[in-house]
Structure 1
């Protein structure tokens, strides 16, 4: 009866791990930040994160409306920046929201086009997320389960390609979960044991759910010692991970295993833990009634029906808001309470109401839920000696428990069928049922397993006794020490006084030494600070002199240009712009407190302004500049500046032969990756243009500069020209690499 809650929780876990293996801010914090964020790529990322955060909350119409609002704004902003990764994440969330609203939609039509587009654009992460989200939404049915498995396997291959270990573990756990549902326990066990292998170095969260599913595998197989071992490991790992989100399921698993082992008091203790957890967490009524049922069942097992009934009873209004599974569980449990209290008419009424609910809403229940319901009413009629009524219910229960039931449930059902046939005089049938029950009993509790169970219990009891013995021994030792202290108190006082005097002398000496050392350290720190300041001033002076030398070179070129015409004059002007791009870098560095990095949001607009002024554009060409506050060191800033210089110069010269136009320069950073886009709405490149074979100096320079910083450069020639440079700056980049290389782009630039 807990299958639906478990499926929902497993879905929530899978979605949350796919969302990101990072610590995320709470949605309310993100909302506060969003109010002050400009309309840039960082705002798009925040809007997507907020939409995902709301997607993992319990379903409500207002929730989907909020998600739509975030996605609509993100789509509008991304239409300007055209970041493929953003577009794919937005589309995946939009497809999920559409399916949440209307689950009659075709999942394949929603997600497979996104998968195909991500594959074509090379967005491996987006493709992996789309496959995973498609798999999560597929209902477990005999026909659909193979496609669900296929989707997860596709996502697994992509996660391996991304080298995302935690995503690999997460998807592998979901695949194992499918194999458990299919009854392929040996394959599921193999997959889960691979995840918890120490060599894999899985995170606590990956271990947590692998342990949890392993305990389920061993319960299904009837291997209760292993089941208890991994259930306890789950609870221990939960505490190490400091994440109690799924504590209810973990506590219930331990409670159920302890019940099957016959440890009813231990089972009650864990069931109460689960109930306290859901009440403190203000869970919905369905989860609370499930937690109540576990406690009440343990009380019934311990022969306390009055306590169980008082604990479980709810008001009619509360019953009306329960889902079908919770109603089934509640009616069965109340019937069990009245049966133990020997109030048989009341018990029968609740059982019959339960069966009517099952027959009326059969599709809303799992096979195990239906089987447990029929078994409950069959057990009731058997208990009041109405075997003829009991047997049809028990046979109906057997049909469903064979599909999805624990071995303990089957064993109990066969035993009750034996009792029913024995009472009715059907001895041949009764013997066959008894044999089946004994076979299951032997497979569950053979000698070796009983020994392991006893060892686990003995180990627990021994640990408890050892703690008690240790406490008693400590108390005895304390008493003996007290007696000895009384006898030797005079000697201890004298010795203590001497020790205090020695300690005082040592402390005084240490304080003098520490004082001298502190003074020495302070002097050295001051000296180092002075040296550091001198070094920074020297670096600033170097940048200042380089800037002055470059400026002198620009002036010399300007003087030379007065005597030149046509192509020679254009070459001189182009060189002046290139030198200015480098000179501006050094100017920014020596005027800044930070002599290592350049704020591109300040540098690029000034560079564009110089180009606009040097070409005397007036109002013929307008500029759309959107630069995020990205800080780059000089090794990256110079190539980016020169690429912008070349691209904008070419656009000004050739993009608008007739009339005017717009040139856009956009730079942003996403996931540590810096993306530069220079675009115009001019006539575009020639039809036969090939970026790989084109030998023009400008294209060759831009390719060379990109190679120097390990960047990717691409050219798009429809609707004007668009140049996109993508680079992942490295912190330990050798700042001199671009200067000393003899065959790099800067060397090429100097030669020309």
Structure 2
């Protein structure tokens, strides 16, 4: 819903666009070339360009296709007669374009394959790349198989253009490849392709164009990189606003910038650019774009808690720009019903709910979940709590399955309200607890986005100040150069006429004196301006330090809240354990408590540390071992040998490491020893860029009958395998003189390794 029509899913190559812009000879000249028995190379090029010009004209006009076919026949016949295979290949490629435009796809593709065979044989990389671009046009953008084929052809063309040194064509093809990645929502690949495209355009000193900048900004936006997203979307807007003419695709550029501000929470800015896109869509009577923009505008009003304005926009779109797409119509019905419910107009919402519910089974799963969530709110407001409870349960299941925090939050709150209304207070408390946990996660995400937005705003202001300062410096340098040039001219002129024009020289000296006074005054003024700019820069630096301090405080507060929440959960588990008699349940609760403590310890260290992003693994592992020793009896017979390199890892890696250590150490303590023993823990750099974690004991080892399949099915083994996959590493478990668990994984930040720190602890036997 938040995307306008694609700009170039059916575009042909850059070469053909360039040909379409060439000025061709008159019709009479072209007729003479047709009659010429042996056209030379220049004649063949003119005929070929004329053929492409007629093919590229809008629509399919028979006269245009006939003219293009006439020129293609002449090029092909002349090349076959003279035995020139390269021109023959180009003639067949033109034929492919003509037949494809007329939807004669089988014959057209056959001509393209014949051209491909010729260019491969004679190693014509540029023409072969053009042929791959033409072959790609025989596949659409609806089926994923067709898209994959197009992508493979584009990649082959990019490689050939690079080898042929055709950088501008390579840049344009990279842009078209990025557009295909946009269709399949592969935004990482999209940004990688478009960054290369922009770099190549800069290398050949060609403006990339608003569509390239806008698509790259969209990729960064969907990846959460608001800084780069804002940079490239603003560049796109700058490009289109520098043009004299407005075209329909400019609405897409404004819409994408509006969507970026929507995701950043800047709804007023989003509405400003939606309005600019709206005016362009109105000008070109672009109904699909108007419908999409109406939805986006309504979403911004809804985010601003203005359901009345959102409803007015959607009702106007429903009346003036009705959709023909089934899923889109259902989505609009759900949106309008939601606005009515927010306005407490339940009777008005009911027809839209019935319309969507009647076709519920034909909707995508997420739209079904959104409809169920809406109906749950409706029944909650109308007092039908049992129906609301049933629907909210379905929504919660889909939210958990899809990891959609917003659905989980809405469903948990609705279940809490329904249980409270029906007197199920125990269940209501549990649902409210889940709601708070999910809502805290959403709060953390919102705060992270807010911090990113503040950083983007600060960097934008800082860049503007830097540009102004550089402009002032350039002006001062230009003034100094002008003054030096003037002095040089005066000295040369004075030396030439010194003997005969003393009076004129005196006048020039006096004039020089006046100019110097004026120059000094100007320099003083410039100096005052520089001083003012320095004060402004100092103020910006102070503001930056304040923002960075607030950011660090927010991050620490997040870690503190996460640690406190984990401690609350552990307390709840302890309380629950007091009411249980089942040994297996008690063991499960105790193991869960150890796992939560392993995670809580990480957030505690981040909260207490100056570095809020990295965990010192040597101190963390030591503290984790100390905690586990306190939780078991008989551990005084076990010696721990820690060999941990002074490496720091971020939370995404330290949490899985902590959980793997927890599982391995607790298993060794519980099962490995019948008397004294040693547990060795090592974390070292195996090869540059890779860490190896080893947990080994000299206990009794794994039972002989415990085969690999049984290991994989145990809770601990499944958890360690999953955590190793999360690290993108490998897990190996061997039973040899005890149990040896080895995890190899890549670490993200390069660290300086010195000799490993060793902590050895001898435990006396107290028995």
- For normalisation by structure 2, the TM-score amounts to 0.47
Please give the TM-score of this superposition, normalised by the length of structure 1: 0.48
